[in-house]
Structure 1
């Protein structure tokens, strides 16, 4: 009897006869640790300065990842320890339904918040007047509430027959049926995959627009640098550096989610034959994203992006200055004679360039 169930599919399996809880335990620990550390860093930053709209969205993303980790990982560990599948842990499929709902819901919410972050950066740079007058932290809270509500309503439809949550091998995963025979379930899959794809494309386009506006800001600063006072120029440089910090963080989070979600989107659009690995690989990619996001935030939090930006600006500024010295004093810019231990002291003493030894 058990062998017949195993040979058909893993959809009705009641036990877990393969796999190890070690990998799941490591993923759970890494996810919880990363999200907790990220929340601590956000709280420290909030106490130093008032939270911005972008920080509100980042905080909601970290909390969402933490909730997603706690919603599914303990069930996987419990299934391994009890050697019971998610279906075997409850008679009315409640555990499997909860697991599938949580996987679908948090994947949509995570990408929707990433899109909100990208739109916020695009508006702050591309439409600064509208951003300053109309957007605030309150808009961020309203946006998060709407995202949660809409995603919750969409993901609950499989419980009413539109879409279907099933169990996957080795009995520790439940997710939407990726190769259904009924048309209504296929429509649900197409809508879900299309939502993911549209949000991915919009996020990438917003990030590209942010890069474009940042390049314009840098060119304007460079063109008007001679007519702007040093203090103002310093403030503008710091403003660009702050925008770059946000862009780097958002960009890497977007790349991580695209890599983790594209296998699922492809699998839903191009349904293949059911098998142990066909359904498991996209689910593994999706489950890794809540672990990656907080560690990306931790690694790319200031001063790491700021340090990279300052170094890049210093490198760009130093090259034109050296070329300018050569053009103004072509005769004096000569190699030091043999035995000159100070190397180039002749230039430093007589050029009179500010910042040199002779100034």
Structure 2
């Protein structure tokens, strides 16, 4: 498999080829600020009401993004300040290995938590009885811990010879070898890309199922609106609105991760299966993967209530206002033309609004 001369030299160079720390500093600042603000919003919400399983998972996702940002961005800034590549900063390639491990580990953990969030919503909407019996915050903590453990084991196998982390131009990147010469490294790449692809597909399918069940809930509520008491209907309206909030947040986070991860999956498959490759295309998928921890918290900040709740309430109030006006027009003639014997017209109107059985003749 042919490697370009520039990329081959970047694998072992000890100084930076080019580049500026400005872009990395901006990305680091935006990532830290977004995640910190998102954590503050989650803490404020937790103090107002007890945290749900979904909020536990969102908090885990934000903390994961924050840890990922702190694990790689300071290394890049240090490399620019010292004008040394990741290989040059450590004779035993420790820094490069740390960077590659972090990129692989946090990309897997982030998508795994997103998948668990999608499964949680799918169970809550599609299988509420099972959800109430089996799903809890404790289940969320255990699942997140297992996700961290399994992803750490897989991401650590390159240190044991299964898979390989190499340095990329301009010397501030280390990731899995996108053009591995050995078969075992190719197998590692295929497993990594396949895990990402399977989790992406499952997350999208779960979200599609949630949308389908929400549409069914809305149709049932609309069909039985006349027979449902007002208070119960209001509660169900709030329940659907809350589920829509969760779905919107999860949907946009999924879209962001698909955009950031799918190019990497395609590139890994392409590099493994094809012999004629262009190494300059490897940097873009790596850049997109590193951008995802910056996008996720800002998606949460923008789509976090009360923003979607205000939009939903405004839509519902508009529809409810029109429905109320139609009901008043239909009820108004009855109120003003039905007069009980012996009562005045004014009394008839008052009885129509406030009268109760047993008081009409008093």
TM-score, normalised via structure 1 length: 0.87
Shift of residue 209, structure 1, vs aligned partner:
0.6
Matches within 5 A, 1:57-206: 57-206=57-206
Distance 1:15 1:5 in 2: 16
Structure 2: gaps (5+ residues):
333-352, 354-362
Matches within 5 A, 1:315-334: 315-317=318-320
Note if contact 1:5-1:12 (Cα within 8 Å) is conserved in structure 2.
no
Q: 2:316 aligns with which of 313, 317, 321?
A: 313
Give the secondary-structure state (helix, strand or coil) at the position aligned to 1:14: coil
Please state if 1:208 is matched with 2:211.
no
Distance in 2 (CA, whole Å) between partners of 1:316 and 1:208 is: 26
| Equivalent-residue separation in structure 2 for 1:289 and 1:73 (angstroms) | 13
Cα distance in 2 for residues equivalent to 1:276 and 1:21: 23
* CA–CA distance in structure 2, aligned partners of residues 302 and 74 of structure 1: 32
- The alignment status of 1:304 with 2:307, answered yes or no, reads yes
The residue that corresponds to 1:279 in the other structure is 282
Conservation of the 8 A alpha-carbon contact between 1:96 and 1:165? yes
| Structure 2 equivalent of residue 54 of structure 1 | 54
* 8 Å contact kept, 2:166–2:176: yes
> By how many angstroms is 1:9 displaced?
2.9
> Quick one: distance in 2 between partners of 1:252 and 1:210?
14
Using the TM superposition, give the Cα deviation of residue 230 of structure 1 relative to its aligned residue in structure 2, in angstroms: 1.0
Q: CA deviation at 1:39?
A: 0.4
SS at 1:306 equivalent: helix
Question: SS state of the match for residue 227, structure 1?
Answer: coil
Q: What RMSD over aligned residues (CA atoms) do the two structures have, in Å?
A: 2.1
d(CA) in 2 for partners of 1:236, 1:319: 20
- SS at 2:226 equivalent: helix
1:336-356: per-residue Cα shift (whole Å, max 9, x none)? xxxxxxxxxxxxxxxxxx9xx
In structure 2, the partner of 1:294 is 297
Deviation at 1:276, TM superposition (A): 5.6
Determine the structure 1 residue equivalent to 2:358: none
State the alpha-carbon separation in 1 of the partners of residues 97 and 226 from structure 2. Answer: 64
Larger CA deviation: 178-187 vs 30-39: 178-187
**In structure 2, the residue corresponding to 1:18 is in which secondary structure?**
coil
Using structure 2 for the length normalisation, give the TM-score.
Answer: 0.86
User: CA offsets per residue over residues 102-147 of structure 1, 9 Å max, x none?
Assistant: 0000000000000000000000010001101111000000000000
* Alignment deviations for residues 133-190 of structure 1 (CA, whole Å, 9 cap, x no partner): 1110000000000000000011111111111000000000000001111111111111
Q: Return the alpha-carbon distance in structure 2 between the equivalents of residues 46 and 176 of structure 1.
A: 39
Q: How many residues align?
A: 327
Q: Is contact 1:168-1:276 (8 Å) kept?
A: no
Of stretches 6-15 and 88-97 in structure 1, the one that deviates more from structure 2 is 6-15
> Would you say the 8 A contact 1:17–1:83 is kept in 2?
no
Higher normalized contact order (CA 8 Å, seq sep 6+, divided by chain length): 2
Match of 1:35 in 2: 35
Contact 1:79 1:86 in 2 (8 A): yes
Taking the aligned partners of 1:243 and 1:315, their CA distance within structure 2 comes to: 20
Q: Distance in 1 between matches of 2:237 and 2:193?
A: 41
Q: CA deviation at 1:261?
A: 0.2
